[in-house]
Structure 1
Amino acid sequence: MLDLRIDSDKCTRCEQCVRDCPLNVLAMGEGVPCVGEDKEEKCIECQHCLAVCPTGALGILGLKPEASLPLAGNFPSAAQMETLIKGRRSIRRFKHEPVDAQTVDELLRIATHAPTGVNSRKVLFTVIEDQQTMEQVKHATMEGIRTLVAEERLPKGKEFYGGILRAWDKGADILFRKAPHLLIVSVDAKAPTPMADGFIAMTTFEMMAATMGLGTLWDGLAKWAMVDMLPDLGIRLGIPESHQIVYVMLFGKPAVTYHRTVQRDADLKVNRVIWDKQ
């Protein structure tokens, strides 16, 4: 049930909610917006109507507009966003202390706002916060690699994991960088755009983490090992078999400080198209 509620005293009849509804669920009724006939099941719960109402007259899905954050004057400036994007670095040196649970919860809650195809919202965040569990997962992964090496079952092109294992035995953690936390994002494989949804969610998590002074690493080595080479690990971690695992990310408090952005303008590649009408 959409539970559309209109405060008729606040509603200016501007029809912005009706015009902005992606699937034309709303219509103008007797002076105020209403759900169109036989349209309720088409709603994808995007909440555009709640967000676009200039006076906060509209509530939907049991949500009240006053519980939302106001946007006017609260967006970061273009210069601030540029610094955040350019200043984000892949962290491979982490402090040996966990991030507090409240901060992790806040990061996950904010990352949930990342867009998904057709607003399907099928993203699952599998996070390891407990330090003992983190060590157990690392050990299980490395022992799985040890078995693959011993049985000569490393995939072609992944023979270098033998070197990673030898480094592990000597105390070097190439795979997990001694990070205190690990995040795996998976998406229901039946979602319209599972891979895109997962990458967008992880990017949102990463950028927000940077604003909180935390470091992240898109860990392709761990992804290959935990997902591609040792698929049973996902089941042990409670990830549904119906899900497509998108990627693995390490995060925690960085043990390194960067003082300036890098310079990549020379790497810009643009294909500007002018359509040939002939």
Structure 2
Amino acid sequence: MDYESLLELVKQRRSIRRFKPDPIPDEYVDKIIEVARWAPSGFNMQPWEFVVVKEPELKKRLVEYVDQYWMLAKSMETARESWQGKPWKTSGVRNAGMDYTTAPVFIILFGDTRTSAGLPMGVRYDPNRYRTIFTSGLASAFLYMHLAAATLGLASQWVSAITTPYAACMVKNLLGIPAEMEPYDMMALGYPAIKPRPKFMRDPEKMIHYGLCVKEDFRSDEEVKDFVKKARNWTIGSHRRKSDE
């Protein structure tokens, strides 16, 4: 693959929040996981485990656990700083426009904490380094999954609320996941029912720095606040879209 092809693939990978209910071939799921298992991981410990969920009743339960988080998140929005703009207004993930529930497949990525035994002792007993290495490997595998899905014409969404304490506890109990496994994230996977808007991006010249730097090389507090406000407004609008209009 040349650089331009890779860049185009990365640009095409977008989080889609509305799916067609059409089934996905098992072959596609296998291909996505095959790509993910080649992801880099610290000291090649390959901590990942993939749990594919297609059964409607199990998917319904998973959605209920995530919705519990969104109910809590709604109340937390009352504490949002006023300069950021409007708070999220949602009584559940579906009312926020993030209706991933029609996706025919959920793939939950778990990390096996027992793989820490293979790390150097200096890493194994340094909580910060261990956590960084463990999470980085899982993040790489999860990103590979999304890129692979894009090459197959599939849409995907990160459902990170699956890792909140309540949801993680309930999900592991529901699916019979051993205690040693930690959920990293859940992918909702299916065919897109909506075309995403052009992505709101930062200017590259404002984020690239060379050699020795001074504080003035980076954005000021006001510049960061301005970007946060614009990015939130774009995201809220994107989430609430219910069609390609």
TM-score after normalising by structure 1? 0.56
The alpha-carbon distance between structure 1 residues 117 and 247, as it changes in their structure 2 partners (threshold 3 A), is same
Determine the structure 2 residue equivalent to 1:206.
146
Instruction: State the alpha-carbon separation in 1 of the partners of residues 109 and 26 from structure 2.
Output: 18
1:1-278 equivalence runs, <5 A: 76-139=1-64, 141-142=66-67, 145=68, 154=72, 157=76, 163-165=90-92, 174=98, 176-190=100-114, 191=116, 192=119, 193-220=133-160, 222-223=161-162, 227-230=164-167, 231-257=169-195, 262=199, 264=201, 266-267=203-204, 268-274=206-212
SS at match of 1:207: helix
Instruction: State the alpha-carbon separation in 2 of the partners of residues 163 and 264 from structure 1.
Output: 25
The alpha-carbon distance between structure 1 residues 197 and 161, as it changes in their structure 2 partners (threshold 3 A), is same
Instruction: State the alpha-carbon separation in 2 of the partners of residues 126 and 161 from structure 1.
Output: 31
What amino acid does structure 2 have at the position aligned with 1:228?
Answer: P
How far does the alpha carbon of each residue in 1:10-54 deviate from its partner, in whole angstroms, 9 at most, with x for none? xxxxxxxxxxxxxxxxxxxxxxxxxxxxxxxxxxxxxxxxxxxxx
Question: Which range moves more in the overlay, 230-239 or 78-87?
Answer: 230-239
Deviation, 1:252, is 0.9
The alpha-carbon distance between structure 1 residues 87 and 176, as it changes in their structure 2 partners (threshold 3 A), is closer
Quick one: percent identity of the two aligned structures? 23
Deviation, 1:133, is 2.9
SS at match of 1:197: helix
* Number of residues of Structure 1 aligned to a counterpart in Structure 2: 186
Which structure has the highest helix share of the two?
2
SS at match of 1:206: helix
Whether contact under 8 Å (2:47, 2:138) holds in the other structure is no
What amino acid does structure 2 have at the position aligned with 1:157?
Answer: M
The alpha-carbon distance between structure 1 residues 272 and 140, as it changes in their structure 2 partners (threshold 3 A), is closer
The alpha-carbon distance between structure 1 residues 257 and 161, as it changes in their structure 2 partners (threshold 3 A), is closer
Task: Tell me: higher relative CO, structure 1 or 2? Use CA pairs within 8 A at least 6 residues apart.
Answer: 2
How far does the alpha carbon of each residue in 1:235-271 deviate from its partner, in whole angstroms, 9 at most, with x for none? 322322112221222111111245x964736155123
Instruction: State the alpha-carbon separation in 2 of the partners of residues 123 and 211 from structure 1.
Output: 22
Name stretches of at least 5 consecutive residues in structure 2 with no aligned partner: 79-86, 120-132, 214-245
Instruction: State the alpha-carbon separation in 2 of the partners of residues 175 and 134 from structure 1.
Output: 13
Instruction: State the alpha-carbon separation in 2 of the partners of residues 241 and 162 from structure 1.
Output: 35
Instruction: State the alpha-carbon separation in 2 of the partners of residues 123 and 101 from structure 1.
Output: 20
Deviation, 1:183, is 1.8
What amino acid does structure 1 have at the position aligned with 2:142?
Answer: M
SS at match of 1:184: strand
Deviation, 1:189, is 2.1
Across the aligned residues of Structure 1 and Structure 2, the Cα RMSD in angstroms comes to: 3.3
Deviation, 1:198, is 1.0
